[in-house]
Structures are given as structure tokens and as C-alpha cells.
Amino acid sequence: MTGREAAFAAAVAGLLAGYNNTGGGQPWRQRWYPAINLGATGALLAAATASGLTAADLGLSPGRVPAGLRGAAGPAGALAAAWLGLAAAPATRPVLADQRVTGLTWPQLAYQVTVRIPVGTVLWEETAFRGVLQAALRRVLPGPAAIAVTGGMFGIWHVRPTMAALRVNGIGGADRGRPPGLAQAAAVAGAVLATAVAGVVLSGFRDRSGSVAGPVLLHLTANCGAALAARTAAGARQARAGR
């Protein structure tokens, strides 16, 4: 380990801690979300290359893609089936209610699952966390510690989006313009913990296969599946109400 490698790892961790939590909800960033994050992906990869990390270090070696996809195919299929089951059963449809999605038209949803989520979210986040951050940390920490820190940073990354989701859905008094209360704080803490655990799982797939392809597949299934399931459930509820 060199001081330069440690400084780079710390800089990436600090950047990611702040990137999504400071100004991430600004209208101009939301409007240009895929393009901005695509640019950020390229800039971070350039910085990683300049720091001495190779494509193999970053989990971007083409030769490792099949192994990554094979390792994640089964869990991704199970996750997709779970989303389908939740949307299909009337008793479980309410858990999918999310005003960020249920009000979308089908063309708007198509944009979400073909452009915004794959490019603006999954490509950027998997490159940043399972690619650059995890590789940078592995140069300065033992493998398990690098995975744990990467997962923890992934949890922190989701603080602002969680608070935004709470406001939109009126959970924990977040829609009333009051300072965050205990219920809202607990919801945010729970979401951070859950996404940190998810980050550790994704990092494990990347570590075992040597490729970010597996985490990309799982992340796409999680996010696109959630959006499709939520919109499908909302449509079913609306159809039943209109009878």
C-alpha cells in the first residue's frame, strides 16, 4: 500500500458519500440524470485508470463477464419471480405502492426501465461502487474489509433518496414539512442498513466472479423489477376500483 493509493481510496469514498446526498435532488440534475451520471462514470473510470487500476482490477475484463452473469443468473431469476408474485397477488399489491412510480404513464415507465435506471443508476452505481471503490479499497484493505466498507458507503449513498421517497409517499410525517421525527429517522436508518447489506451482497458477487456483470444484472432486476411491479400493481388496483 502506498500513500497515493490510500489517498485515492479515501477520495473516492468521500466523493461518493457526498455526490448523491448534496444537490442530488436539484431539478436540473433530475432532468439530465442519465447524461450527468454517464459523464460521471467516464470521469471516475479515467481517474481510476490514472491511479493505476486496470480493467481486471475494476471488474471490467470482458473475459470475466460470462462468469459474472452465470453466478448471478439464478438469484436474478428468483428476484424477478418475487416481483411478479407481489404484483400478481391482490393481498401483496399494497406493499408496492410508490407514488414515484404509480403515477407514471406506460411510456414514461418505459423510459425509466430502458434509459434512466440502466444508464443513470445501474451503470453509474455499479461502476462507482463495485468497480472503482471496491478495487481502490482492495489495494489498502483486506478483501472482507473492502467489501464491508463498500457496502457501508452504498448505504450512505441512499440517505437523500430515501428521505425523498418518504416525502413523496407521506411516511413518518415526512409530508408535513416538519423536522425529521423518530419514525422518519428510523425509516431512513432502516433503508441505509438494508442497502448496505444489499451492497455487501453485490460486492460478494463481484469478488467471486471478478466481474461487475453479476452485480449489474442483479441491480437491474431489483430496480427495473420494482418499477414494473409497482406500476402493474397500481394498474390492477385502478382496474378493480373502476368496476
Which pLDDT belongs to residue 94?
87
Predicted model pTM: 0.91
Grid coordinates representing 53 are 487500476
What's the confidence (pLDDT) of residue 240?
Answer: 63
10 Å Cβ neighbour count for 189?
13
pLDDT in tens, 26-72: 788 888 999 999 999 999 999 999 999 999 999 999 999 999 999 99
C-alpha cell of residue 182: 423518530
Contact between 31 and 167 under an 8 Å Cβ cutoff? The reply is: no
Confidence band, pLDDT 50/70/90 cuts, at residue 238? low
Percentage above 90 pLDDT, the chain:
70
Q: Which among 79, 105, 45 is positioned nearest to 220, based on CA atoms? A: 79
pLDDT tens digit string along 61-118?
Answer: 999 999 999 999 999 999 999 999 999 999 998 888 888 888 889 899 999 999 999 9
Measured from the Cβ of residue 180, the count of other Cβ atoms closer than 10 Å reads 15
Of 73, 51, 215, the residue nearest 137 (C-alpha): 51
128: closest CA among 221, 51, 41? 41
The angle formed by the CA atoms of residues 178, 180 and 186, to the nearest 5 degrees, is 145
| Amino acid present at 102 | T
Q: Which of 20-24, 90-94, 121-125, 144-148 has the lowest mean pLDDT?
A: 20-24
Report residue 116 as a C-alpha cell. Answer: 434512466
